Each structure stands twice: as structure tokens, then as C-alpha cells.
Structure 1
Amino acid sequence: MGLRWTDSIDLAIELLEAHPDVDPQWIRFTDLHAWVCALPNFSDDPTKSTEGLLEGIQMAWIDEAN
């Protein structure tokens, strides 16, 4: 089974690898949503995301980038 919206750390690691030149502190949630959905290992329902889940992914991405 692939990654889900609640797998924030794993999603952050994959986003860091897929977008190494992006500063996650400044990403828009619309872009973040699209990029998560485009990850090859992502298999959750795209409509199940929330602002809180996206914020958690963003925070984990910021942590991983530092």
C-alpha cells in the first residue's frame, strides 16, 4: 500500500527528493496538494486532504530540509 495523507514525514522526504530546489516554507497549499498527488508512491484519495494535513506535511518538509 502506498503513502497516505497522514504519512507526513514519508511524504516530506519524497517531496524533498522530488523538489530539491524548493523552499517548503513558501509553498502554496494548492501546489503542495498537486505535488503530493503526483508522487509515484501516493495512493490516498486526493479529496481527503485538509488544510491541517497539508500544514503537517509542509512542517515535516521544512524539518527534513533543515
Structure 2
Amino acid sequence: MWAVSAALVGRDDPGSRQMWVSVVFLVVFTGLLSVTSLWLWRQQAGRVGRPVHHAAPRRMVRRRQANA
């Protein structure tokens, strides 16, 4: 959206404030998307080969015996 806005405004009025705001938003959100994608990719790559645990491990439950 910001790329289209920057291109259209830059064609009609190059160097305007609206064009530069669109370019800055485009750069900021492209950077955020890149950093997030890299972080998620590293998170996914770090989990390869590990067993998947969807539930808590089973443990033996010891019941107290009433002393009579």
C-alpha cells in the first residue's frame, strides 16, 4: 500500500512530504516484517529433531495412606 502511494505521489509531486512519509513507512514496516520473518525462521529451525510434547508428562501419583 505504501509502495503504491509513494510511487503515485512521487510521480505527481516528487520530493513532497507525503511521498517521503510513504517511503519511511514502507522502509519501517519492511524492516519489521524482515526481522519478524527471520526470528520465526530461527525459532522453527531450532526445534527440528526435538520430540513434540503436547501434554504434561505422566508422573506416578502417590496417595497418602491414612494412619489408623
Report the TM-score, using the length of structure 2 for normalisation.
0.25
Report the TM-score, using the length of structure 1 for normalisation.
0.26
Of structures 1 and 2, the one scoring higher in RCO (CA 8 A, sep 6+) is 1
